[in-house]
A = this chain, B = another copy of it.
Amino acid sequence: MLDGYGHVSVRNPSNANRYLLARAKAPALVTAADIVEYDLDSAPVSGSGTGYIERFIHGEIYRRRADVNAIVHCHCPDVIPFAATSVAMRPLYHMAFFVAQGVPVFEIRQTAGMTDMLIRTPALGKALAATLDNKTAALMRGHGAVIAAASLHLVVAEAYYLNLNARLQLQAMQLAGDKVVYLDAEEAKQATQDYERSWENWKSRLPRP
């Protein structure tokens, strides 16, 4: 889901104006020593090393969304095609319930014209956060996605199922075009869950140190 890029952050549980994010490093290689604490302007307040250029994704979403305590940014492959089209993501099953909120697509050209596609500034972070608004996930055209949730366990599972729903939605559309039955908004709302069983399963599959 993350390959060499992408990042995962959590809001500091003891200071809502701070968040924790690794220094610039492939996610699979991150250890506790790589964690840097940032303020909501995405300036480092403890820890060291070069930060991710796109840390403003995190800072600006935490600033705007008091309900968010964890964020994933990824280049999850199966969402990239959706990010490049106007085909809306729809929730194919209960595991992707949050897709029913709608998954807006952030078009960086509207904010900044021609760019390298990266969220390099507070202004771009704010624009992305505005596109995300009160949703769980937003796609980023020509780039990837951002997922924001109340907890680390939630956000990891939602990133995973966002990507899987994208693959399965394409398959369903190939089978039946616009005659696919998606979750109703009410079904999706009732299907809200915490994915704790996924977390235990994924943790058990990490390589032993």
Interface residues of A (CB under 8 A from B): 3-5, 24-26, 28-29, 75, 77-78, 80-87, 91-95, 109, 114-118, 141-144, 164, 167-176, 179-184, 186-187, 190-192, 195, 197-202, 204-205
> Does B29 lie within 8 Å of A176, measured CB to CB?
no
Nearest B residue to A26 via CB reads B201
> Does B94 lie within 8 Å of A142, measured CB to CB?
yes
> Does B29 lie within 8 Å of A204, measured CB to CB?
yes
The complex is assembled from copies of this chain, and their number is 4
> Does A187 lie within 8 Å of B117, measured CB to CB?
yes
Nearest B residue to A5 via CB reads B197
Partner among B4, B179, B198, B204 whose Cβ is within 8 Å of the Cβ of A86: B179
A142 with B93: in contact, given A26-B197, A26-B200, A204-B29 (CB under 8 Å)? yes
> Does A116 lie within 8 Å of B191, measured CB to CB?
yes
> Does B171 lie within 8 Å of A170, measured CB to CB?
yes
Q: Would you list 12 pairs from A and B whose C-beta atoms are within 8 A, ordered by A residue? A: A5-B197, A75-B93, A81-B171, A81-B180, A84-B92, A84-B176, A84-B180, A84-B181, A84-B182, A86-B179, A94-B142, A114-B187
